Chains A and B, each alone.
Chain A
Amino acid sequence: MATTNNIHSISVEASTSQLATVRDFVAEHAESLGLSEKEIGNIRLAVDEAYTNIIKHAYKNIPSKPVKIELGSDSSQLWISIKDEGESFDPASYSEPDLKQRIKNKQRGGMGVYLIRKLMDNVDYNRIGKTNEIRMVKHL
């Protein structure tokens, strides 16, 4: 069985001002695993979308709320876990966005979850006690 190594974590407050820091954190570690530039770009975007959703939806733009990002790898996969203590997200409520309809209705959100699922190989949502976790996996 493969053992997880190289676990790295960063704790930030739920603020869009931290987006670049979070993206750079995951990109730096993804790079050290020898992933391609395209794959690193996909991971940066998936993490950006997940963190943005936490800021906007779990915490409803209330700053100073905690978000913890953890990243680890073994020989077969890179995993990223993002935890918050805000409102939970029900993945069953999600449907694929109809861009044409959204433009017509001037709705601009709702694309993040779709992108995350497209960009990563596996995505799970869990709630343990008061903590929500999104766990994203990229196969190596």
Chain B
Amino acid sequence: MKNFGISIREVDNIRVLDISGELDAHTASQLENSLKSLIDHNHICIIVNCKGLDYIASAGLGVFMAYIEDVRGMGGDIKLTNMNERVYNVFDLLGFPTLYDIHDDESEALTGFDK
């Protein structure tokens, strides 16, 4: 199996996904399954902590594109945090920073949710 990992924790009723390794067209389905499962269980306040993420391709960004409208429509959000410079550059090239809530640090994203 490819070098990609995902784990979920709960902080103040917000689900935090820690993702690590390389997110590409091969590993994107793992992130998709986790996000979908959270949303199906009505957990719509989600932070994706990218601290351990070394690499992302557009297939990985596509997962965030597929669910953000649904989650926001339900009153939640998917916030992204702790990206390294390389990963952030890919989001930036595609114009994500104007449409997604991206933070340097997880704590900032946590305070951004109305509790």
Interface residues of A (CB under 8 A from B): 16-17, 19-20, 23, 38, 41, 44-45, 48-49, 52, 55-56, 97, 99-100, 102-104, 106-109, 111-112, 114-115, 118-119
Q: What is the CA–CA distance of A114 and B96 in the complex, to the nearest angstrom?
A: 14
Q: Shortest Cβ distance from B24 into chain A, in angstroms?
A: 5
Q: Which residues of A contact B94 (CB under 8 A)?
A: 97, 99, 111, 114-115
B: interface residue count bin: 20 to 34
Structural contact, B63 and A103, CB atoms closer than 8 A? no
What does DSSP make chain A's interface, helix, strand, loop or mixed?
Answer: helix
Interface residues of B (CB under 8 A from A): 2-3, 22, 24-26, 55, 57-59, 61-63, 65-66, 68-69, 86, 90, 93-96, 99
Q: Which residues of A contact B95 (CB under 8 A)?
A: 99
Structural contact, B65 and A103, CB atoms closer than 8 A? yes
Structural contact, B25 and A44, CB atoms closer than 8 A? no
Structural contact, B25 and A52, CB atoms closer than 8 A? yes
Structural contact, A49 and B57, CB atoms closer than 8 A? yes
